[in-house]
Amino acid sequence: MTPDHISLHNKQFEPYLSAAQLSEAVQTVAARLNQDYAGQTPLFVAVLNGSFMFVADLLKHITLDCEVSFIKVASYQGTSSTGEVRELLGLTEDLQGRPVIILEDIVDTGHTMRRLLDTLAEKQPASLEVATLFLKPECLQHELSIRYVGLSIPNDFIVGYGLDYDGLGRNYPDVYKAV
């Protein structure tokens, strides 16, 4: 049962998106990836920590041969982006000539994604795309072409389904927004 509100640190959150809505969005993204990459063996690069639930659920619906790698970057402190991206844990696979899809939980300002795209493009993949569960179009501060978007959402601060507020809230199967 979904709580009618949750409290994390000093903030209150109310239900926003149910686990069923999230599952439908994930399956839609997976279906498009399966279609677009049929006959290929893409490398999925999952951005930790927030994407872990999205990635786990997405991969259950991927019917392609694929590889998965994880990287960890950070640009958030509290409820807002610092604008500074720090790569914390790197990628060891050779990307040259391979189709690469970055898997991200949420793209808002685009600072992290711009840095990742620039960094990974230097490794000369055959193609480089982004699949994100959430996109906040009104927050974007960079010109980004994001081909696979589960849900476009307004500029609300959200937690749950892998997303956190200073470390708390990732474990909820539903998504909540700050009130």
Residues in the chain: 179
Q: Are 170 and 162 in contact (CB under 8 A)?
A: yes
CA–CA distances in Å: residue 137 to residues 98, 108, 143, 146, 157: 28, 7, 11, 10, 14
- Cβ atoms of 5 and 159 within 8 Å: the answer is no
Distance of CA 39 to the CA centre of its chain: 24
Candidate list 108, 118, 164, 166, residue with the active-site label: 108
Is 108 tagged catalytic? yes
The DSSP secondary-structure symbol of 123 reads T
Taking the CA of residue 6 as centre, how many other CA atoms within 13 Å lie in the half-sphere pointing to its CB?
Answer: 23
Listed in sequence order, the residues at least 6 apart from 158 whose beta carbon sits closer than 8 Å to its beta carbon are 16, 17, 106, 134, 175, 176, 177, 178
Show which residues are catalytic: 108
